[in-house]
């Protein structure tokens, strides 16, 4: 299992996420994320991007202690919830860099 596949598996098992949620977080097509979850290594230009974003997602999952998306969030709203979490994480990161 690649590092990317391991990080995806951790986000799924500990964060209560599905591959669609992770695809939304990565801003990557779902079929590509499925391939990565199955152990295919991302192409050279994409691997650092994927690893960095997945590490950030796993940090968020660890800090959250439980499902990242509350049960009260219904299926149609999951994508918006993930996008909001992602954007908040990267807004904080941008402030730290500046």
User: Can you give the pTM of this predicted structure?
Assistant: 0.84
The pLDDT tens digits for 37-70 are: 999 988 888 899 899 999 999 999 998 887 888 8
Range of the domain at 61: 3-97
- What domain count does the chain have? 1
DSSP result, 22-80 = HHHHHT--HHHHHHHHTTPPPPHHHHHHHHHHHHHHHHHHHHH-S-SS-TTS-HHHHHH
């Amino acid at each position: 299992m690649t590092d990317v596949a391991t990080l995806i598996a951790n986000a799924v098992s500990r964060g209560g996420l599905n591959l669609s949620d992770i695809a939304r977080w990565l801003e990557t097509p779902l079929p590509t994320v499925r391939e990565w979850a199955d152990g295919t290594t991302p192409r050279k230009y994409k691997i650092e991007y994927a690893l960095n974003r997945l590490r950030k997602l796993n940090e968020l999952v660890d800090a959250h202690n439980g499902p990242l998306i509350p049960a009260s969030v219904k299926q149609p709203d999951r994508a918006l919830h993930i996008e909001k979490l992602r954007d908040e994480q990267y807004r904080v990161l941008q402030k730290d860099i500046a």
